[in-house]
Structure 1
Amino acid sequence: MIPTYIGLIQLLFGTLLLVGGSSRHCVWFLLVSAMFGGSAAIQLPALGGSSIPPVQFALLFVMARLVIPGSGNASQVVTALRENVFLCIFVIYGVFMAFIGPRLFHGSIDVTPLRNEVSQMIYYTEPLRPSSQNITTSVYLIGVAVVAVAMTVLCRLRGGAEALVKSGVVVGWLHALTGMVEVATRGSPVGIVFQSLRNGSYQQLSQSVGGVARMNGLFPEPSAYAAFAFGLFVFMAECWYRSVLPKRTGSAAIVLFIALIASTASTGYLGLAAYAIFFLCRAVVFSRLANAKRVNEAGIAFIIGAIIIAAMLAALPSYVDTASHVLDQMVFSKADTVSGKQRWFWMAQGVDAMLASGGLGIGPGSFRSSSLLTAILGSMGIVGILSIVAYALWVFRPARQSTWGNSTDLQANLSGACGTAALLSVIPALFTAASPVPDFIFGVLAGASLALRPHFRMSPASSRRQVRQDVAPTTF
């Protein structure tokens, strides 16, 4: 193991966290570390050049802080494990199959390795075999479960839920601004700084389309940048919709929306389109529970945005062709490009792997996919799909009023925002994920939602209720 300078800085802050950190500090440490999606805290040359990303390294210190003797959180951790049981089943089975699958089905199917060193061959495959990526992917899977459990505990401690929202606002702004600055300074000394920060064992891509630079920020590629931005955007938008620090969360949602539009990442556009459909359908189907003020504000913002875009295009006609070319390449013609064909091929591998393994899966890390759904199918089979779907429904709670509406209970509103954002945050991964590991932001929001979700039955009087005594009241 070789620590990087980013890992050494984290080691310093992590040590301070162990000495005297609070739940607020833990949440901030995790969210800020997650911004460095293309970085490495520790290099692992013995595992084929893999690395430990900053957020996974930060998680070690956070969990140590929660279970350190004398912290008094043992019962909370046990409760959090029980409430995240479906995710734990998903992860345990995944880790088991990561070691058993590629050995059990060794050579029975040809697959594209997760770490593909011959990417110039778009349909490259080789016989299935165990690799270091099985170990790496298992570690990432465990990390998702650990972060969900940690957030369930942290958001039950005083100040944890407040820190989640406030750190989400700050990280959202920073993520959007770093993307814009990185594009504006690409090729300059400032751009070199961004390249040095992206020191992870990922293929660093600085792309352009139609002469327009695509946003990477601190992430290895535009699609990863857009996926993280989308998860934060939905979280901020849902908090704004439910009047959770609406001025701060609303402004963060706007700047993240601008970053997603400017990123030219097709996954970001698909995510925004899906969220717009969800937002509209929710307002129509659950009109009695809808926040009329926020719906009206969203409509006004949409009209103003459309007018501004139309005015800009009218004033700068030379950009009309460029914008239409970018939109056509990144959305409408994406499937006909080499990248699009390659992604469809990778996606189909998941279905082939599930069938070849008789529904058991060939193990996480055994092949490269391009969709979270088919990655889970091929890696973990029926057990993986059933457990993650059960967990998603357990987090989202579609039968709860707090999932669809707004109330005077701040804790219920924040819980509903987290649960909704957790579910919707996986939309980009459905089109881009190379492995069956859900995004970090999914684990954060899912764990927070379970921590804050009060137990109540839907009724007209449900907006005024008592929260369980083991949950710290959410007050900002």
Structure 2
Amino acid sequence: MLTFVGLIQIAIGMVLLLRGSLASMLVFAMISGMFGGSASVIVGGSSIPPVQFALAFIWIRMIIPGSRFGPAVGPAFRENIWLLVFVIYGVAIAYVGPRLFIGDMEVSPLRVSGPTSSLYSTVLLEPSSQNVTAAIYLIGTLMSAVATYVACRYRGGANALVRGAVIVAYVHAFTGILGAVGRGTPVDAVFEVFRNATYSQLEQEANGFARINGLFPEPSAWASFAFSWFVLLAECWYRSIEPKSTGRAAALLLLVLLASTSSSAYVAVGGYAAFFAVRVFIFPQLASHQRIREASLIGLAAVMLLAVALIALPAFAAAIQDIANDALFEKADSESGRQRLFWALQGLEAFQVSFGLGIGPGSFRSSSLITAILGSCGVIGIVSYIAYLITLFQPRRASSWGVSGSLAARLGGAAGTAAILGQIPALVAAPTPVPSGEFAIVAGAALAFRKLRTKNPAESDEEEDEGPDLVPPPFRGGWRRV
């Protein structure tokens, strides 16, 4: 069934097909990703999210007769070869796994029909509709990465990625704040209309504070999406790629992430802070001294403001301490923490039961990307996924660690870092082995920009089909229609 969200997307998609560019369609997909609790199409008990529905219009634009993008599709698949292996095996084992190992273990299903009597309720392993859904999502991830690769290889792609990320940051932060402040008011009813997917809506309050979930079904999902774009924007700022706009957008997302009360957000931000500090210490020659000074001033100001707030408002300080204890230090001993551990350990059991083959994506609920991949896709899945991450980051390149190389190299390094570090929330919360849509976008962009060998367009007046289109500063005006 096509929903009202899908109808709106069809209208926008048709306008972009007639009047827009591939770059503008990339922004369309990025913005669609913010509607994480929405469904464009509902088939049975499964939902097709807006980000994957928008993907269809990008592919129509790429392969429509007369399009100049067709020749780039083949190289895009070759560059994403490890993701292609991961997806092909995942789709195959999603069908074979639950049939081959039917009844060999009890699993917590992804979708529970009816009430459960325990946090650890399980059923015998068997094929289900969730295997089909997970396989479709896997294919969507691959298609998103390939489409982004193609879009970023042509003029307009770099502007679309960075400008789109800034737009997403502001709108995502604003809707998150508005949803929390408007909880229990007519504003909340509007948000509920957009959360029309068949996802479970979790409790959105912690110690009297309204938790931030925006247009997503739960705070951890909202925070995971926000963190991926925060890292990309922070890395662009660090590499002096439109530092004013990317820096402000990253700072806004960081503030809202810290206010989200999501344990996934706190772990992720802590992980990025540790990476940032270690990188500056190991590779000081690749660090911008101006950015380090700015980061130090921001950190000092944040600490001082927090100290003043804690001293002036004792009740607020006690509430913040309770939230921090619940979200971080007491999480493991809570019912939720024990349930997440139980789900995560299922992946290890599935890996053993299947002799390293996996029991198929969609066969069980996990709470960690690593154990989800191990249990669902086995050895082939985890090896191909790690190989893909290494391909994205390319640790032997100086541009992966800081300010080095051409503009395309720096942007590729920023996207590659965002693809890797953006996985931190998934490591402690992902229910399935399916990578997120935002991961696919930054991954495809990282490979595209790293592949570019053209000179900086600021040095030439030639109109090339391929090449980075960001000229710092400022942005070259508008999106070029190609």
TM-score bracket, normalised by the shorter chain, equals over 0.9
1:309 alignment counterpart: 306
- Name the CA distance, whole Å, in 2 between partners of 1:429 and 1:238: 20
Q: Give the secondary-structure state (helix, strand or coil) at the position aligned to 1:201.
A: coil
Amino acid at match of 1:421: A
1:207 alignment counterpart: 204
2:370 alignment counterpart: 373
Residue 220 of structure 1 is aligned with which of 217, 240, 256? 217
Amino acid at match of 1:398: P
Deviation at 1:412, TM superposition (A): 1.2
- Name the CA distance, whole Å, in 1 between partners of 2:22 and 2:235: 23
The alignment's TM-score, normalised by the length of structure 2, stands at: 0.94
Identity fraction in percent: 50
Is 1:327 the counterpart of 2:327 in the alignment?
no
- Name the CA distance, whole Å, in 2 between partners of 1:222 and 1:29: 23
1:53 alignment counterpart: 49
2:188 alignment counterpart: 191
Q: 1:9-66 CA distances to partner (integer Å, 9 max, x unpaired)?
A: 0011112222232022111110110010000101112xxx111111110001111111
- Name the CA distance, whole Å, in 2 between partners of 1:226 and 1:473: 30
1:268 alignment counterpart: 265
**Aligned partners of 2:452 and 2:467 also within 8 Å:** no
How many residue pairs are counted as aligned between the two chains?
464
- Name the CA distance, whole Å, in 2 between partners of 1:172 and 1:455: 27
Is 1:181 the counterpart of 2:178 in the alignment?
yes
Is 1:74 the counterpart of 2:70 in the alignment?
yes
2:110 alignment counterpart: 114
2:15 alignment counterpart: 16
Is 1:158 the counterpart of 2:139 in the alignment?
no
- Name the CA distance, whole Å, in 1 between partners of 2:282 and 2:62: 42
- Name the CA distance, whole Å, in 2 between partners of 1:473 and 1:123: 51
- Name the CA distance, whole Å, in 1 between partners of 2:391 and 2:172: 29
Q: Give the secondary-structure state (helix, strand or coil) at the position aligned to 1:203.
A: coil
Q: 1:329-381 CA distances to partner (integer Å, 9 max, x unpaired)?
A: 01100011111000000000000000000000000000000000000000000
- Name the CA distance, whole Å, in 2 between partners of 1:392 and 1:197: 33
1:119 to 1:410, Cα distance in 2 relative to 1, 3 A: farther
The equivalences for 1:22-421 within 5 A come to 22-45=21-44, 49-117=45-113, 118=115, 121-407=118-404, 409-421=406-418
- Name the CA distance, whole Å, in 1 between partners of 2:405 and 2:117: 56
Q: Give the secondary-structure state (helix, strand or coil) at the position aligned to 1:354.
A: helix
Q: Give the secondary-structure state (helix, strand or coil) at the position aligned to 1:161.
A: helix
- Name the CA distance, whole Å, in 2 between partners of 1:52 and 1:119: 26
- Name the CA distance, whole Å, in 1 between partners of 2:185 and 2:119: 32
1:473 alignment counterpart: 468
RMSD, aligned α-carbons: 1.6
**Aligned partners of 2:154 and 2:465 also within 8 Å:** no
- Name the CA distance, whole Å, in 2 between partners of 1:81 and 1:236: 26
1:398 to 1:455, Cα distance in 2 relative to 1, 3 A: farther
Deviation at 1:120, TM superposition (A): 5.1
Q: 1:395-426 CA distances to partner (integer Å, 9 max, x unpaired)?
A: 00000011012036221111110000010001
Unaligned runs of 5+ in 1: 457-463
Amino acid at match of 1:26: M
Deviation at 1:471, TM superposition (A): 3.1
Q: Give the secondary-structure state (helix, strand or coil) at the position aligned to 1:155.
A: helix
Deviation at 1:240, TM superposition (A): 0.4
- Name the CA distance, whole Å, in 1 between partners of 2:124 and 2:31: 40
Deviation at 1:452, TM superposition (A): 0.4
- List structure 1 runs of 4+ shifted beyond 4 angstroms: none
Q: Give the secondary-structure state (helix, strand or coil) at the position aligned to 2:374.
A: helix
The alignment's TM-score, normalised by the length of structure 1, stands at: 0.95
